[in-house]
Amino acid sequence: MQTEVIANIPDNVLLQEMLRRQMESLKQRAASNVEGQRLQSIIQKQLDRSSYQKELIIGENARYYSMRKVNTDSPPRVTETEIRHVHQNIQKQLTALDMPTLPSVSRLDGEKEIQQIYSTIISLCQDIKQTKEKNRLEMQSLEKELYEQQHEQKAAFEKCEKQMDQKQQKISMLNQEISNEEILMKEEKKQHMLKIRPKKQMLEKLERRHRIIRETQ
């Protein structure tokens, strides 16, 4: 049996782990815990069916796995029930993300078409992941823009409040000056009245004398 070297990759990014991560979002977004467990079982079954041979190679600076996949004429088997279940969960995610949905699988003609649909689903997992990341970045950008707008509005409001406080202080100072002026004017008027009172009394006294003189004549 011939083997084909796929790649020499670090052990933290093995091909199986990449597939597992691609399908992780489907497990998390399943409609219920039961469906999530069912989907996880399907994924694990697919991973177990993939035929890989691992060869440990010790490098100077790191450990590497030489991944060799056995060339076979038949791809990993996935039953029609399994593909329908995964297809249904994929459709829900695509609809929620406003992405084009998969073609209907009401009729699957043979093993080959089942495997083609499965391959399409696997590739869509990455598209879904990218779309989610794009949506996350857009949401992050919108949140940043909203925060900046709120910060600008807050700064403008604080500036306006400061200006209003300054104007209020000026008004208070003017009112105090007016009040002081009124008090001063009242005091001056009082002093003036005190000054003219003796003269007024003298004038009244003279008028009384003149009146008495006129009456006696």
158: Cβ contacts below 8 Å, ≥ 6 apart: none
49: Cβ contacts below 8 Å, ≥ 6 apart: 76, 77
Q: What is the mean pLDDT of residues 80-102?
A: 70
Q: What pLDDT is attached to residue 72?
A: 43
Domain residue ranges of the chain, discontinuous segments joined by +: 1-73
Cβ–Cβ under 8 Å, residues 52 and 15: yes
Question: Length of the chain, please?
Answer: 217
Tens digit of pLDDT for each residue in 139-162? Answer: 888 888 888 888 888 888 888 888
Statement: residue 89 has pLDDT above 70 = yes
Q: What pLDDT is attached to residue 128?
A: 72
Which pLDDT band holds residue 79 (cuts at 50, 70, 90)?
low
Residues pairing with 68 in the sheet: 5, 53
Average pLDDT, the chain: 68
Whether the pTM exceeds 0.75: the reply is no
Statement: residue 64 has pLDDT above 50 = no
